[in-house]
Copies of this chain bind each other. A is one copy, B any other.
Amino acid sequence: MAGNTFGQLFRMITFGESHGAGVGVVIDGCPAGLEISFEEIQAELDRRRPGQNKLTTQRNEKDSLEILSGIFENKTLGTPITFLIRNTDVQSKSYEDIKDKFRPGHADFVTQEKYGHRDYRGGGRASARETIGRVAAGAIAKKLLAEVGIEVEAYLVQVGKIKQTGDLRLKIEDYTEEIEHARADGDSVGGIIEVVAKNVPVGLGEPVFHKLSAELAHALMTIPAAKGVEIGDGFASAEKRGSENNDELINDAVGTSRDLSAGQIRTKTNHAGGIVGGISNGENIVMRVAFKPTSSITKKQMTVDKDNNEVEISVHGRHDPCVALRAPVIVEAMASLVLVDHYLLDKSSKL
């Protein structure tokens, strides 16, 4: 089944294995005439790229972008846009010893069972390298959103046991020790990322099965290692009362909080996280996605090999001790792709 295609009108298909020729993406359905430069796309790829600080994997990929189609004279043509990023720093050798052992927490076993044939040199499509295509497509999506004033930003709110409290963002020094300790133990930690979309117009989302909240949840849950997602007060709302959780509507005559025309209807609070009944209500869209700790750890674990023998395994190679660290740009990409798609869908819902 065509499982690598995402989106209705603004669609992407990512391709490439971690240890093959390269990875990339084709975007089908991008409107023509969008101005976008090589540098703007490469800049997003650089945000995702490992090796930028001491807390991430040392795999040293330049992730150099090549534009194969769809952009001419720095403007989109309305034709498929293809981005290719070659794999250069491929060290298949380090994977030799795990060729026949299924790594716990990884897709090795299920991939072997489902497809019968796999590229044992690395994670294949389950590798974080697959997300490069998403980030490249996300660069286009963000630029489109920017044209209509929508901004999308994602950031860490939890790394292992270290959590953001109040509005002050987590900084690298806040969680360095948490990660260094895990790494010293040959171990890894999880994390939570929050994403906020600002200035989303009222009306995006297509009930009842393509609610904006449901599609964002879907998109975020496709990111490797994602284990949960919530919107607004999310799981916490389960123990609240309706009178606490409902957002009262107000007439924001003064339009203090945003640059809106007087008379705009707003909500006083935003427990809903910007989406009601699956449709955006004009408030900030706020979602959180939980990432499990990196599955690849050097610490010894038990597993089975391809002959069903129970064996010990220690996963070497170059892995992030916390996948969430590099994930904000991926979260932004996925959220942006959904928003662009729904922006276009909503336009088409009016004659």
Contact = CB atoms under 8 A, between A and B. Distances in A.
Contacts of A295: 242, 246
Interface string A195-213: 0000000110111111101
Contacts of A109: 249, 265, 276, 281
Contacts of A296: 242
Contacts of A318: none
A242 B189 contact: yes
Contact of A3 (B23, B148, B207): B207
B209 A214 contact: no
A54 interface: no
A77 interface: yes
* Number of identical monomers bound together in the oligomeric complex: 4
A22 to B, nearest CB: 6
A50 interface: no
Contact of A34 (B13, B33, B188, B351): B351
Contacts of A126: 207-208, 277
A17 to B, nearest CB: 6
B2 A11 contact: yes
A190 interface: yes
B235 A188 contact: no
Given A230-B228, A241-B187, A302-B248, A68 B206 contact: no
Interface in A250-268: 250-251, 263, 265, 267-268
Interface stretch (A39-47, A56-64, A164-172, A215-223): A215-223
Interface string A265-300: 101100111001111110000000011111111010
B192 A238 contact: yes
Contact of A26 (B15, B114, B280): B15
Contacts of A293: 237, 240-242, 244-245
Contacts of A161: 239
27 contacts: A2-B9, A3-B28, A4-B28, A4-B80, A4-B207, A17-B77, A21-B69, A23-B69, A33-B117, A78-B114, A102-B249, A104-B246, A104-B267, A107-B207, A111-B277, A111-B279, A114-B349, A158-B239, A185-B243, A217-B218, A227-B234, A228-B229, A228-B235, A228-B237, A230-B230, A243-B299, A344-B351
Query: Across chains A and B, which 9 residue pairs bring their CB atoms closest together, nearest first?
Result: A107-B277, A3-B206, A228-B230, A218-B218, A32-B115, A188-B242, A2-B29, A228-B234, A2-B11
